[in-house]
Structure 1
Amino acid sequence: MVRKRKFALAGVVASVAGLLLSLVSAGVSSAHGAALMPGSRTYLCYKDGRASTGQIIPQNAACQAAFNQSGATPFYNWFAVLRSDGAGRTQGFIPDGRLCSGAAQIYNFNGFDIARADWPVTHLTSGATIQVRYNKWAHHPGRFDLYITNSSYNPSQPLRWSNLVSTPFSSVVNPPQSGATGSEEGHYYWNAQLPSGLSGRHIIYSVWTRSDSTETFYGCSDVVFDGGNGQVTF
């Protein structure tokens, strides 16, 4: 009887372990990257909220609002704002007001669509050249396009496609990469010249289109053009 119980317990442990492994693998396989510089909302809110205990405890008020709406899961999965059926589509595919969440299917990123003027922000200089860094949680070939908001953008209103300049200010295909895939530090990188004549708060909107599948990644990076050189304010 004791031996049977031991075998039964071992079977349960193995089953649970297998289930956990499959869940973790599913999460990683569907999560591939986001902007590190200038940091995306999801990444900077993860950085803001990550406690030494591993919990997500937001300090920034906008990150807290996102947490209240969407919970902790999208913070841990900051690299998973994607549409598996995106195929590089933008306007007419992702609805107005859902740009920052990418109308994502896997995790609930809706909290990151909240219109606020106090998201963590990267300080930049209009017209300057910066090194863009985009995390490679998983490596995929493809094209990166960066858009900037126009003069109609108002942080207190939901982001619409009409708030973006229609032509990307930076585009690159299969840029070089550095660091380990599947780590926070691993990333693609390239130099981009920022648009000139801008001041105040804006959003840099990123679209990463895989060339080996229809999967497409979307992201909002809140920036302020005030003469900065990439400093982040939480």
Structure 2
Amino acid sequence: MTLPYPLPRLGLLATGALFALGLASSAQAHGYLSQPQSRALLCKTGANTQCGAVQWEPQSVEGLSGYPARGPADGQIASAGLVQFGALNEQSSSRWAKRPISAGAQNFTWTFTANHVTRNFRYYITRQGWNPNAQLSRSSFESEPFCTHDGGMRQPPKVLTHNCQVPARSGYQIVLAVWEVGDTPMSFYNVADVVFQDGSTPTPPAATWEARGAINPSVDLSVGDRVATRVFDAQGERRELSTQVRIGSASDGHPNTWPFLLAQRINAEQPLLRAGQRGADGRIAPAPGRNEVFAQASSGIARVEVQIDKAAAPNVDLLLGSVPSQLAIANGQATLNVSITAVGELDITATVLDHAGTTRATQSLSLNNTGRQLALVIKPAQPGHHQLVVKGVVKGSGALVQKTADFMLSGPATPPGAAQFTFPEGLRQYKAGTVVLQPKDGRLYECRPWPNNGYCVQWSPSTPHFEPGVGSHWRDAWIQR
């Protein structure tokens, strides 16, 4: 494959270190597999939980092209090698929501938020006998795609469907869909968790139960808390179909226990609903942890939500000391000193944001009926309105306490051409022309223009090759000022 511009001189590093973050695509192509729904898309819809950043960016699971010879490393295939999407690499037979599929002719649909020139689409499926409780590797999948479509180096429509012949399988399987972009060295890697009712026969009658929601093990619940379903059709909420469970003991409030209890209660009370995990035989049974909620296809039920009502919280609070209305900028930075006191046991995060909503300083700590003096260093500091946002999460209950205070920064602005960030702060915001201060040598570095600007964001503690001034290949990404 011919790349549109030469890669830097990385040698063997290209097979490992670079995949930790993946190259930024200057063309900004984006898209996701919407039928069957990808693991990342189900994170956005809420069917999958504890996904991290991908719940806001299912269209951005992008890594270097060349799979299976190159591309994301084993163990990082589901995330395309992007550390911010690393939660996608978790793998077990019960971790992810699954969608039904059958062998034979099936449609696979891509939805594009930026539909760029395309080289091809390829679809791979897990091998017979793969291990669903081990991280995905090349050995998990067939080496050859079961379906390919040539992109013709053309721009596809915003929604594109391929008809593919799916090979016979049984039970839980994974489809790896690869969209290879034509005008960058990148591809999009989407995994879809699917369950075959039978290797080759039509879906059995259990398929008349259609997924309409999920009971996610999202929080610990306390004695006295109540969790209930809310059921909706096209006309609105159907209160007679609601089911509720009140937590009677600490063990019942465990995140792997109360979803199981609620699923059991739904199945006992609601003939139009079933809750649980759907097995390879099509049966739906409650299980510890995450359970899906299904409705009869003919019921008209459109969705099922879960509502948690916390019992009255103990006496908890978060107290802020005096926050000055004005702070002076000195040497391009300012320090906000503030005292914080926890009434109760709280996990606390204090954040300073500028008027545009950009984080300028942050600090986290845990306090139990005690106080602490914080010194939040704001840099680079610019005159104008800022806010201090302090949130405390109550241990055990998850209840939130938040306090906000306004203040102004005054004094000389950071001079033009000075550092916009102190490396590696704000890493994902680096672009052509961004100037950073390298604290290791005290020098300023400017991110090179396209096509090298994508390398400026390629950094982690284990892959420092493009770190300005000190990395082995920093000159491919940066210009010393």
TM (norm. structure 1) is: 0.68
Say which one has the larger Rg. 2
Q: Is the 8 A contact 2:27 2:184 kept in 1?
A: no
Q: Does 1:44 align with 2:42?
A: yes
Superposed displacement of residue 111, structure 1: 0.3
Q: Is the 8 A contact 1:203 1:221 kept in 2?
A: yes
Q: Does 1:170 align with 2:147?
A: yes
2:115 maps to 139
2:82 maps to 104
Q: Does 1:94 align with 2:92?
A: no
User: Equivalents in 1 of 2:119, 2:106: separation in Å?
Assistant: 21
Amino acid at match of 1:64: T
Superposed displacement of residue 31, structure 1: 5.4
User: Equivalents in 2 of 1:93, 1:216: separation in Å?
Assistant: 8
Pick the aligned partner of 1:205 from 162, 166, 176: 176
| Correspondences of 1:115-134 after superposition (within 5 Å) | 115-118=91-94, 119-126=96-103, 128-134=104-110
Q: Is the 8 A contact 1:123 1:232 kept in 2?
A: no
Question: For each residue in 1:26-69, what CA deviation from the matched residue of structure 2 results, as whole angstroms up to 9, or x when unmatched?
Answer: 99963511111111100012112xxxxxxxxxxx5xx3333xxx
Q: Is the 8 A contact 1:205 1:218 kept in 2?
A: yes
User: Equivalents in 1 of 2:189, 2:30: separation in Å?
Assistant: 11
Q: Structure 1 232/148 Cα, relative in aligned 2: closer, same or farther at 3 Å?
A: farther
| Correspondences of 1:156-195 after superposition (within 5 Å) | 156-174=133-151, 186-195=158-167
Superposed displacement of residue 149, structure 1: 0.1
Alignment RMSD (CA, Å): 2.6
Q: Is the 8 A contact 1:44 1:120 kept in 2?
A: yes
Return 89-98 or 216-225, whichever deviates more. 89-98
User: Equivalents in 1 of 2:164, 2:97: separation in Å?
Assistant: 21
Q: Is the 8 A contact 2:146 2:167 kept in 1?
A: yes
Structure 2 unmatched ranges of 5 or more: 1-23, 213-291, 293-481
2:128 maps to 151
Secondary structure class of the residue paired with 2:50: helix
Q: Is the 8 A contact 1:144 1:209 kept in 2?
A: yes
Q: Structure 1 205/32 Cα, relative in aligned 2: closer, same or farther at 3 Å?
A: same
Superposed displacement of residue 90, structure 1: 3.0
User: Equivalents in 2 of 1:146, 1:155: separation in Å?
Assistant: 18
Q: Is the 8 A contact 2:25 2:184 kept in 1?
A: no
How many residues end up aligned between the 2 structures? 177
1:218 maps to 189
Secondary structure class of the residue paired with 1:112: helix
Amino acid at match of 2:178: V
Q: Is the 8 A contact 2:121 2:180 kept in 1?
A: yes
Larger RCO, structure (CA 8 Å, separation 6 or more): 1
User: Equivalents in 1 of 2:195, 2:129: separation in Å?
Assistant: 15
Amino acid at match of 1:191: N
User: Equivalents in 2 of 1:147, 1:27: separation in Å?
Assistant: 24
User: Equivalents in 2 of 1:232, 1:130: separation in Å?
Assistant: 19
Identical aligned residues as a percent: 25
Superposed displacement of residue 214, structure 1: 0.9
User: Equivalents in 2 of 1:152, 1:30: separation in Å?
Assistant: 37
1:35 maps to 33
Secondary structure class of the residue paired with 1:147: strand
> Which structure features the higher share of helix residues?
1
Q: Is the 8 A contact 1:88 1:207 kept in 2?
A: no
Q: Is the 8 A contact 2:39 2:88 kept in 1?
A: yes
Structure 1 unmatched ranges of 5 or more: 1-25, 49-59, 179-185
- Consecutive aligned runs of 4 or more in structure 1 exceeding 2 Å deviation: 26-31, 63-66, 87-93, 174-178, 231-234
Superposed displacement of residue 112, structure 1: 0.7
Secondary structure class of the residue paired with 2:163: strand
Superposed displacement of residue 211, structure 1: 1.7
User: Equivalents in 2 of 1:211, 1:148: separation in Å?
Assistant: 23
